[in-house]
Amino acid sequence: MTEDVRVADGGRVLLPTVGVEEEFLLVDRRCGVPRGAAPLVLKLAREVLGDRVGVELFTDMVETRTRPVADLDSLGCELAELRAALAAAAAEVDCLVLPSGTAPVPVPGGPELTEEERYQRIATALGPLVTAAGGAGVCGCHIHLGVADRDLAVRLGARLRPWLPTVQAMAANSPFHLGRDTGYASWRSMRWGQLPGVAPLPACADAAEYDRLVEQLVQTGVLTDRRMAHWHCRPSEQWPTLEVRVADVCVEPETVLLLAALLRALAAVLLAEEARGEPVPQVADVVLRAAHWRAARDGLTGCGVDLVEGRLRPAGELVERLLARTAPALAATGELARVRELWARLRATGGGAARQRAAFARHGELMDVVGELALR
């Protein structure tokens, strides 16, 4: 991915390109139980989408991938096209496509692993963390920010770390697991966080130090391969990007647009700080982990950890702080008003977890949650 250079108020704003990967569940249209229909759905979807859709760990999951784009309108068109084509393919085999971090309706006996050799090796290495009923069949939204090189990706990741719990809270969309309300807004975060390599990005001076660390984890068997370094943000092993991985898959594509706009504007601000040689904010990993736990627990409707003042604050106030931090870059690119509108809409609904719970509260039926979320 390349960088888009824009000029505002006599200054230069380096705005990264952005791309999005979304993971979705495939569920039975009649009962909402996840179905291992990915081979059939992907065969149909690829006729329209080509390699922008692919397999995931389990056969009841699929992944879509946008092209790298330079503006929100283009990203919105990509997301709409991918979601519509996937929903149409699933409908042909009596399935629904569900944007939920976890499956509201449980699978009897657990999901089926895909036949891809890499996923089989991962399952063998991790054992019951993957293969047990209620294992790590979870769906996220991964946002890729274009960077010039891996050194810059590592340095940008270090500056992004304190902001990612707020992004996680905004995207929380997985309160139900094994047929019950977990009490968490993002149970996906808790399930996913049990795997090795899921943690805040380790502090490294450059790409060489980062690569040595990851290679050591692979050599010691902690990670199956380099791609198993699932830090909350990481230099991609495939693309010239920094990949942000804290978000649940979102109900509405507008929420994805909001997250992408905030993250790339924040990246622009932080890259400018990097260029000026400003110091990187230091946050202890144990405190950062606590902030991520709180984001998973409360989501958007509760409280988050204020990493500046070291106390709890309403999650909405932390989002407002993020918005204020990114406002100069958003204003320079003409996106500030749109982002404020998207944030107002998300805040009014309480986010995906609140929407799932509201659907369940109507009749106490998990199929109401499925019906509320399913792509049309």
What number of residues does the chain have?
A: 376
Instruction: Please choose, from the candidates 190, 177, 173, the residue with its C-alpha nearest in 3D space to the C-alpha of residue 351.
Output: 173
Q: Does domain 3-373 have CATH number 3.40.50.10470?
A: no
Spans in the chain with pLDDT lower than 50: 1-10
pTM for the structure as a whole: 0.94
pLDDT of residue 10: 41
> So what's the pLDDT on residue 239?
85
The per-residue pLDDT for 13 is: 60
- Going from the C-alpha of 109 to that of each of 105, 131, 178, 190, 283, the distances in angstroms are 12, 10, 11, 21, 41
Task: Quote the pLDDT of residue 119.
Answer: 87
Report pLDDT for 134.
66
